[in-house]
């Protein structure tokens, strides 16, 4: 699903696929999956369904609804919704940056995009500018970004870029069953979420992960904010004890190290049930 609008996918079942189940990217917005399943065929028991994530949003313009879904036995996360960020720049002119080591498919830039420059710990620099021109250099894995206005006099090489053309916000995940997969249940890396009335069962790692993560493998998340998690049931999650056995993980990291800047904010948990936590630190639910 790439750059669709007002799209509804209903009653679709995936039994097996060598990769991800449902994938979305680009300028996608206002879309939903209702009563979709990733599961075994009736009367059959297989070790795996999809070998990777069940539902994966690499970037979008938000307004996403997942309701009445049954996702199980994946080789990775049940749901991963995020927007990509980019780390690593060099200032080559008063209004020009080069984004280094970039993957154009995961961090596209275009004329007219509003790009915010953050410090290397996610803290704001106070600068957001509109792009006047973009010149990619695919051989060097770089993109030259020319801004309409002048950049700060000093931009650190480890600066992080947020492209606000994207924002996978306003998500509803309701009355779903996420179970027996080989990673996390739901990765919630954006703003304005309602996670309500779901059942999480035997996810090998954290049931819910609210994280911004910049590293050599991937750089994801503007930071979770304004999140409501209520009336959910968590059973036997994080059975392998990943991340110190957390059931719900909240953190922002740079190359594996926790940042001190408080990127995550306004996160509310209400009336959730926790049962049979099997991780090594099951006294610590959060």
Q: In what order do the strands lie in the sheet with 273-275?
A: 13-14, 37-38, 70-72, 177-179, 199-201, 233-235, 273-275
Q: What is the pLDDT of residue 170?
A: 98
189 within 8 A of 139, measured Cβ to Cβ: no
Q: CA 168 → CA 26, 78, 187, 213, distances in Å?
A: 11, 17, 12, 16
Q: Which tens digit of pLDDT belongs to each residue from 163-217?
A: 999 999 999 999 999 999 999 999 999 999 999 999 999 999 999 999 899 988 8
Q: Domains, the chain, ranges and CATH?
A: 5-83+167-275 (2.160.20.10), 86-163 (2.40.10)
The pTM of the full predicted model, rounded to 2 decimals, is 0.93
Q: What is the pLDDT of residue 194?
A: 98
Q: What is the pLDDT of residue 276?
A: 87
Q: What is the pLDDT of residue 240?
A: 86
Q: What is the pLDDT of residue 60?
A: 96
């Amino acid at each position: 699903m790439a750059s669709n609008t007002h799209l509804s996918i209903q009653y679709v079942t995936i039994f097996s696929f060598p990769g991800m189940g449902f994938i979305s990217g680009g300028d996608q917005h206002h879309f939903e999956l209702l009563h979709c399943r990733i599961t075994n065929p009736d009367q059959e028991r297989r070790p795996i369904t999809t070998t990777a994530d069940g539902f994966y949003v690499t970037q979008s313009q938000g307004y996403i609804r997942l309701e009445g879904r049954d996702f199980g036995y994946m080789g990775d996360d049940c749901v991963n919704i995020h927007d990509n960020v980019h780390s690593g720049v060099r200032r080559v002119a008063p209004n020009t940056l080069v984004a280094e080591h970039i993957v154009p498919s995961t961090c596209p830039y275009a004329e007219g995009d509003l790009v915010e420059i953050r410090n290397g710990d996610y803290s704001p620099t106070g600068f957001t500018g509109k792009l006047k021109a973009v010149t990619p250099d695919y051989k060097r894995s770089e993109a030259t970004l020319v801004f309409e206005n002048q950049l700060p006099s000093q931009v650190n090489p480890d600066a992080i870029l947020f492209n606000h053309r994207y924002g996978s916000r306003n998500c509803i995940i309701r009355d779903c069953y996420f179970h027996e997969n080989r990673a996390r249940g739901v990765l919630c890396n954006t703003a304005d979420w309602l996670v309500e009335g779901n059942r999480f069962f035997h996810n090998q790692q954290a049931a819910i992960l609210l994280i911004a993560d910049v590293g050599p493998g991937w750089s994801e998340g503007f930071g979770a904010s304004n999140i409501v998690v209520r009336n959910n049931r968590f059973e036997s999650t994080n059975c392998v004890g990943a991340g110190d056995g957390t059931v719900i993980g909240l953190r922002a990291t740079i190359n594996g190290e926790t940042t001190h800047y408080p990127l995550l904010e306004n996160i509310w948990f209400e009336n959730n049930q926790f049962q049979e936590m099997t991780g090594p630190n099951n006294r610590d639910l959060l």
